[in-house]
Structure 1
Amino acid sequence: MPRVRRQNVPPALFQHLLDRVQSRKIPASQLELLAKWLDSEPEVPEGQWYKRFSGMTVCGEGELIKTFLLPGQAPKGKPVA
């Protein structure tokens, strides 16, 4: 199983993620939780997956994080721990 990529993220995807953080007003506290989770080098499925935090859901596909959802928005894919 792949691990979430933290470096060499495609520039357009990186900009999309920054835009989602700003437009959805993701709090710094949630980004800190994300950083701690990423520090654990989590394994994720090859296909679509998501990780729920208290104030957001991170959605990805394979090794890449693709977007951030707010509570109440429905993610696609397999949940990861």
Structure 2
Amino acid sequence: MTRYFLHLVDGDDVICDPEGSELPSIAAAREQALLSAREILAEAIKIGAQRVPRFVVAVSEGGNEVAVIDMREIFPPGMK
């Protein structure tokens, strides 16, 4: 398994995932990034946050960007 890190990005601001997670594939890393983006957005709505990160970026332990989730694109098609 490979370790993937899910970083939060908003413009020049980056919050790095210091621990990462062992995942079996790039597809699993992308799915985890999507799930994390949904959880972040749900929590932001609950607490009335004025701002959320723009992207969740999955990066392999080798430093390769394997998935980018744009927070604006995670809503189901009928909810945009």
Q: Which has the higher strand share?
A: 2
Instruction: Point out the structure with the larger helix share.
Output: 2
| TM-score w.r.t. length of structure 2 | 0.37
